[in-house]
Chain A
Amino acid sequence: MTYIGKSVKRVEDVRFLTGKGRYTDDIKLPGMTHAYIIRSPYAHAKIKSIDTSAAEAMDGVVAVFTGKDVAGVNGVPCGWQVNFKNGDTMKEPPHPLLVADVVKHVGDNVAMVIAESKEIAKDAAELVDIDYEELDAVADAAKAVKDGAPLVHPDAPKNMCFDWELGNPKEEVDAAMESAHHITKLEFINQRVIPNAIEPRAAIGHYESAGDKHTLYTTSQNPHLTRLLMSAFVLGIPEHRVRVVAPDVGGGFGSKIFHYAEEALVTWASRQLNRPVKWTAERSESFMTDAHGRDHVSTAEMGFDAEGNVVGLRVKTLANLGAYLSTFAPCVPTWLHGTLLQGLYTTPKINVDVTGVFTHTTPVDAYRGAGRPEATYLLERLMDTAALEMKMDPAELRLKNFIPAFDGVEQEGYMTQVALQYDSGNYHKVLERALEMVGYEDFRKEQAAARENGKLLGIGFSTYIEACGIAPSAVVGALGARAGLYEVGQVRVQPTGKVSVYTGAHSHGQGHETTFAQVVADKLGIALDDVEIVHGDSESVAFGMGTYGSRSLAVGGSAIVKSIEKIIEKGTKIAAHKLEAAEGDIEFSEGKFTVKGTDKSIGFGDVALTAYVPHDYPAGLEPGLDFSSFYDPANFTYPFGAHIAVVEVDKDTGKVSLKRFIAVDDVGNVINPMIVDGQIHGGLAQGIGQAMFEGAIYDEDGQLINGSYMDYTMPRADDLPSFEIDRTVTPCPHNPLGVKGAGEAGAIGSTPAVVNAVMDALSPFGIKDIEMPLTPERVWRAMQ
């Protein structure tokens, strides 16, 4: 292996670091116009009238569209259905492109001004006169389900979208809890966070009447899905008349998975005007309208026997979905959350109950980890709290309850109480390694000495599992997905032996152009530079489901491997013919087809040329060397790890300093260690950000009061210590690369480790829980 397992420098970074990336907003088309979206300043209000005449009269204004103009166009659809416990389908209210009657969150789309420049569009927007009648709003899920709360949608009583249950029957879990020697109970808020991709969302609609063709350039993690949703469900345009291009994309963290109204609006408007229409979000719009993450209110109880073995887990969650259902919103608090409540433990009885709730806030959907961080937060906070209450060591308590090691080959996968079968795992090993790295025994001594000197040091643990490599289509279909979740990989060998790979995965920071090329180059025995990775254009890539759920390499990479296998199989036929040998006698390695046991061989490039210039060629074999494959995974794949945080709390101010952070993750086989390290680091920063800094704040009227970088605290480099990370390797048994996923692991595991560490530091005060983010004031108040 020349490349696999090596920290090859990212080939895409040359263009990114020299300012030559090509992002949606960089694209300028002849005759292009610019759109500005007028957004609701209120969380809930009736639009009494809109007067666009002054704006329309302004020089340089091309058009002003309101809800009335798009009345004939469908709204944005939801891609996942969850049913009520009684079998009724979830409430799925319309999500119009432009609201004509009642706005339902601050930032809701009301009108679109299109002008010759974005400056004119924005100035003209100030001339649009909208008369609102403000209505009562509710932003908080716990308040929204109370009697008499303002309704977001009149046909969703108590603001309920669905209620849902998973696991063992409730009576069985209740009985297990009754038999428990000790029950640890916590009430949590897993606060709402805002994704904050560095590149704001942008979209350009370009209709060309010649060919009746619509092109949408957009900041998307999955252009094919956007094409399907927009053409079939929103605009009713035949899919072959729509091309969607997601060029370089500057980060997504989930928020660019979803199909947004603005994408359909610019496409629709371009056809109306017969000119290209560009829209680029301002940062304030990103805060207000990119789908948010998390926002759960939960009660969780974990029961233990006298020896500290977990006997049961009971969880009840209210999930704030915002004002409308974003593309995958219903799936996140249910199938991506409830199914992870087994964690790494042998808990025999688990019941989880989730209610999806509408509120007058920005829609909530998948954000780095999506449901799995929320599940991990519950379990891991319960574990450390239980250890404290039962006077046991938190590391010991975990080791005692871990599922024993299994490789998924010799030993079967582990069947959970919550619908999943884990593929392979060795959980003791990651925690033992993390304990060794932190120097656990010494730390406890240091902590005791520090306490004597009035210093508050704390250590916190989190051992997590996640389900990624999303996902077997038949399984997710049964769970309500309105799409399959396979991936497509085409490998086109050019006549000269150079290789173009077309993947349905989409890179927006992950480094696919490097990692995928490493796999292809090694499997074909060619140079890395001879491989090109193409993604993000529905016109060049046959189909694709995109990148999210840490799936690109496990699913997209496997599709590419399948195509490579077909290339080698066909190449073997050609080589056998050229070498006048039987196919069974040909072996392929290091870029050469060789007759076994001889020095007779033919290079990969010569075979490629023969395939395209088939003068001397096997009878009946098609020319060309180009294969496409769909890969539908047999199972999710399950990375896991152990994270340890060490903190110091300033007694006078409540400020938490993160002193050390140790992360031992197992993401299966690793293709590029440097890229995986980078993914882990980024994930840790986001998870720590949620624990200590981040959180959307809505006031009583549903106003987002910290929607700017002056008010919303992002983690910064100087807030974080130098991370101490390591890995164990437990290969995935069911995909050809043995890889799991690394994109979300850091964000899933790290959050509870930090909070647990602060609670450990504050244990002399008898403090059990502080709501995230752990701001200095909250910590200080808890100490008073």
Chain B
Amino acid sequence: MIPANFQYTRAGSVDEAIGMLKQHGDAAKLLAGGHSLIPAMKLRLNQPGVLIDIGSISELRYIRKEGNHIAIGGGATHDDIANSDAFGGGLEMYPQAAGLIGDTQVRNKGTIGGSLAHADPAADWPAVVIASNATIVVKGPGGERQIAATDFFTGFYETALAEDEILTQIRVPLPAARTKSAYAKFMQPASRFAIVGCAAMITSSGGTCSNASVAMTGVGDAAYKASKVENALKGKSLDSGTIQSAAAHAADGAMVMSDHFASEEYRTHLASVFAGRAISAAV
């Protein structure tokens, strides 16, 4: 449990961190809460030459309402989100999902930006940001870019983030009226990551679904938008039969993973079960 040698530097601002990233190139790795990176380093699966600690950059740690969206700083901890009252009116799944991450220690240190940038295929946040149609704001030497959450996760631990960029903000649009959301997760019992997780945001009018946004995590190599499920809900009456038959499409098109906690067949089944539970809870 001893990592390989590395250099440690602490950045005081986002711009300073970007400068350090540029200076050290491939050898550098950003350290936020450290709850994914440090264990990997201890097992020597990851051996960065330089750690740039962005954990104390105060300009990254906030949750605030800005016009028609909620802005979450990349440095906001899971615990910050779990205890925030900024997520009423359809974004309830944010504090709910935050409260299901790891344990108290992990929630106190781990950050949403770190989790999204790490892109663990079983992490909770990717499903939540996709389902809430969030925009990921990143900053690099060339300035700021905005990436739709649906385009952010590009594969197994892979994202659209460039090597010299920092994830600075998650911008979550305020949902339409009569919108509710929920996150449902089947936990891997040892790590408490998601074997499957489903984030669902449903807008309804008189019992009919006017809009549905559903995303899955833990199922395949990256979180994805479950479009078939959404389409099977939109315009339909939100009874349990409709929900169940829509949820049955939760793993459609995914390359479903298999491990000793859940085979491909069982995980596919769980995807439907938890899509159904998340949607039901969001109605």
B269 / chain A contacts, CB cutoff of 8 Å: 780
B270 / chain A contacts, CB cutoff of 8 Å: 653
Which single member of A284, A713, A777, A780 contacts B190 (CB below 8 Å)?
Answer: A713
Interfacial residues of chain B within 179-233, with CB under 8 A of chain A in the complex: 186, 189-191
Is A185 engaged at the interface, CB distance under 8 Å to the other chain?
no
A706 / chain B contacts, CB cutoff of 8 Å: 190, 260
A685 to chain B, nearest CB (A): 14
Q: Are A282 and B1 in contact (CB under 8 A)?
A: yes
Is B105 engaged at the interface, CB distance under 8 Å to the other chain?
no
Q: Are A777 and B1 in contact (CB under 8 A)?
A: no
**In the bound complex, how far is the Cα of B43 from the Cα of A780, in angstroms?**
34
Q: Mark A106-138, 1 if CB is under 8 A from B, else 0.
A: 000000000000110011000000000000000
Is B9 engaged at the interface, CB distance under 8 Å to the other chain?
no
Q: Are A653 and B189 in contact (CB under 8 A)?
A: no
Give the nearest-CB partner of A773 in chain B.
Answer: B189
A284 / chain B contacts, CB cutoff of 8 Å: 1, 43
**A705-B260, A712-B190 in contact; A653/B273 too (CB < 8 A)?**
yes
Interfacial residues of chain B within 243-273, with CB under 8 A of chain A in the complex: 260-263, 266, 269-270, 273
Give the nearest-CB partner of B187 in chain A.
Answer: A655
**A284-B43, A653-B270 in contact; A714/B190 too (CB < 8 A)?**
yes
Interfacial residues of chain B within 148-206, with CB under 8 A of chain A in the complex: 186, 189-191
Q: Are A711 and B191 in contact (CB under 8 A)?
A: yes
Q: Are A781 and B266 in contact (CB under 8 A)?
A: yes
Give the nearest-CB partner of A651 in chain B.
Answer: B273
Q: Are B189 and A713 in contact (CB under 8 A)?
A: yes
Which single member of A119, A708, A775 contacts B2 (CB below 8 Å)?
Answer: A119
B68 to chain A, nearest CB (A): 38
**In the bound complex, how far is the Cα of B189 from the Cα of A714, in angstroms?**
8
B198 to chain A, nearest CB (A): 13
- In this complex, which of B2, B186, B191, B261 has the most chain A Cβ atoms within 10 angstroms of its Cβ? B2
B266 / chain A contacts, CB cutoff of 8 Å: 777, 780-781
Q: Are A697 and B260 in contact (CB under 8 A)?
A: yes
**In the bound complex, how far is the Cα of B4 from the Cα of A705, in angstroms?**
23
Is A441 engaged at the interface, CB distance under 8 Å to the other chain?
no
Interfacial residues of chain A within 633-664, with CB under 8 A of chain B in the complex: 652-653, 655
**In the bound complex, how far is the Cα of B3 from the Cα of A123, in angstroms?**
9
Is A710 engaged at the interface, CB distance under 8 Å to the other chain?
yes
Is B7 engaged at the interface, CB distance under 8 Å to the other chain?
no
A652 / chain B contacts, CB cutoff of 8 Å: 273
Is A709 engaged at the interface, CB distance under 8 Å to the other chain?
yes
**In the bound complex, how far is the Cα of B269 from the Cα of A710, in angstroms?**
23
Is A693 engaged at the interface, CB distance under 8 Å to the other chain?
yes
Q: Mark A672-715, 1 if CB is under 8 A from B, else 0.
A: 00000000000000000000010001000000011011111110
Give the nearest-CB partner of B103 in chain A.
Answer: A716
**In the bound complex, how far is the Cα of B261 from the Cα of A777, in angstroms?**
7
**A284-B43, A777-B266, A781-B266 in contact; A709/B5 too (CB < 8 A)?**
no
Q: Mark A735-750, 1 if CB is under 8 A from B, else 0.
A: 0000000000000000
**In the bound complex, how far is the Cα of B262 from the Cα of A43, in angstroms?**
25
**In the bound complex, how far is the Cα of B262 from the Cα of A708, in angstroms?**
17
A712 / chain B contacts, CB cutoff of 8 Å: 190
**In the bound complex, how far is the Cα of B141 from the Cα of A507, in angstroms?**
60
Q: Are B2 and A122 in contact (CB under 8 A)?
A: yes
A709 / chain B contacts, CB cutoff of 8 Å: 190-191
Q: Are B261 and A283 in contact (CB under 8 A)?
A: no
Q: Are A118 and B260 in contact (CB under 8 A)?
A: no
**A283-B1, A709-B190, A710-B191 in contact; A777/B263 too (CB < 8 A)?**
yes
**In the bound complex, how far is the Cα of B2 from the Cα of A776, in angstroms?**
35
A711 / chain B contacts, CB cutoff of 8 Å: 190-191, 260
**In the bound complex, how far is the Cα of B39 from the Cα of A710, in angstroms?**
10
A464 to chain B, nearest CB (A): 26
Interfacial residues of chain A within 714-742, with CB under 8 A of chain B in the complex: 714, 719
A710 / chain B contacts, CB cutoff of 8 Å: 39, 190-191
**In the bound complex, how far is the Cα of B260 from the Cα of A777, in angstroms?**
9
**A709-B190, A712-B190 in contact; A777/B262 too (CB < 8 A)?**
yes
**In the bound complex, how far is the Cα of B270 from the Cα of A708, in angstroms?**
25
A201 to chain B, nearest CB (A): 14
- In this complex, which of B5, B39, B189, B191 has the most chain A Cβ atoms within 10 angstroms of its Cβ? B189
B189 / chain A contacts, CB cutoff of 8 Å: 693, 713, 719
Give the nearest-CB partner of B1 in chain A.
Answer: A282
**In the bound complex, how far is the Cα of B260 from the Cα of A705, in angstroms?**
9
Give the nearest-CB partner of B267 in chain A.
Answer: A777
**A653-B273, A780-B266 in contact; A118/B2 too (CB < 8 A)?**
yes
Interfacial residues of chain A within 453-481, with CB under 8 A of chain B in the complex: none
B191 / chain A contacts, CB cutoff of 8 Å: 709-711
**In the bound complex, how far is the Cα of B190 from the Cα of A714, in angstroms?**
7
A198 to chain B, nearest CB (A): 14
A282 / chain B contacts, CB cutoff of 8 Å: 1-2
Q: Are B260 and A653 in contact (CB under 8 A)?
A: no
Give the nearest-CB partner of A36 in chain B.
Answer: B2
Give the nearest-CB partner of A692 in chain B.
Answer: B189
B88 to chain A, nearest CB (A): 28
**In the bound complex, how far is the Cα of B65 from the Cα of A535, in angstroms?**
62
Give the nearest-CB partner of A711 in chain B.
Answer: B190
B190 / chain A contacts, CB cutoff of 8 Å: 706, 709-714
**In the bound complex, how far is the Cα of B3 from the Cα of A119, in angstroms?**
8
A713 / chain B contacts, CB cutoff of 8 Å: 189-190
Give the nearest-CB partner of A699 in chain B.
Answer: B260
**A705-B260, A777-B263 in contact; A653/B43 too (CB < 8 A)?**
no
**In the bound complex, how far is the Cα of B43 from the Cα of A144, in angstroms?**
32
**In the bound complex, how far is the Cα of B283 from the Cα of A53, in angstroms?**
68
A718 to chain B, nearest CB (A): 10
Give the nearest-CB partner of A652 in chain B.
Answer: B273
A655 to chain B, nearest CB (A): 8
**In the bound complex, how far is the Cα of B2 from the Cα of A282, in angstroms?**
9
A693 / chain B contacts, CB cutoff of 8 Å: 189
Q: Mark B1-15, 1 if CB is under 8 A from A, else 0.
A: 110110000000000
**In the bound complex, how far is the Cα of B273 from the Cα of A780, in angstroms?**
12
A708 / chain B contacts, CB cutoff of 8 Å: 43
A697 / chain B contacts, CB cutoff of 8 Å: 260
**In the bound complex, how far is the Cα of B191 from the Cα of A705, in angstroms?**
15
Give the nearest-CB partner of A775 in chain B.
Answer: B261
Give the nearest-CB partner of B272 in chain A.
Answer: A652
B251 to chain A, nearest CB (A): 15
A123 / chain B contacts, CB cutoff of 8 Å: 4-5
**In the bound complex, how far is the Cα of B43 from the Cα of A370, in angstroms?**
32
B262 / chain A contacts, CB cutoff of 8 Å: 777
A655 / chain B contacts, CB cutoff of 8 Å: 186
A714 / chain B contacts, CB cutoff of 8 Å: 190
**In the bound complex, how far is the Cα of B248 from the Cα of A658, in angstroms?**
29
B34 to chain A, nearest CB (A): 15
Give the nearest-CB partner of A200 in chain B.
Answer: B1
Give the nearest-CB partner of B4 in chain A.
Answer: A123
A192 to chain B, nearest CB (A): 14
Q: Mark A595-620, 1 if CB is under 8 A from B, else 0.
A: 00000000000000000000000000
Interfacial residues of chain B within 1-40, with CB under 8 A of chain A in the complex: 1-2, 4-5, 39
B78 to chain A, nearest CB (A): 17
A775 / chain B contacts, CB cutoff of 8 Å: 261
A622 to chain B, nearest CB (A): 55
Q: Mark B104-124, 1 if CB is under 8 A from A, else 0.
A: 000000000000000000000
**In the bound complex, how far is the Cα of B39 from the Cα of A243, in angstroms?**
37
A775 to chain B, nearest CB (A): 7
B1 / chain A contacts, CB cutoff of 8 Å: 282-284
A118 / chain B contacts, CB cutoff of 8 Å: 2
Q: Mark A425-442, 1 if CB is under 8 A from B, else 0.
A: 000000000000000000
Q: Identify 5 residue pairs between A and B in the complex whose beta-carbon atoms are under 8 Å apart, listed by A's number.
A: A123-B5, A653-B186, A706-B190, A711-B260, A777-B261
Closest 7 CB pairs of A and B: A713-B190, A713-B189, A710-B191, A282-B1, A777-B266, A652-B273, A122-B2
- In addition to A719-B189, A780-B269, 4 A-B residue pairs with Cβ atoms within 8 Å of each other are A284-B1, A655-B186, A711-B190, A777-B262
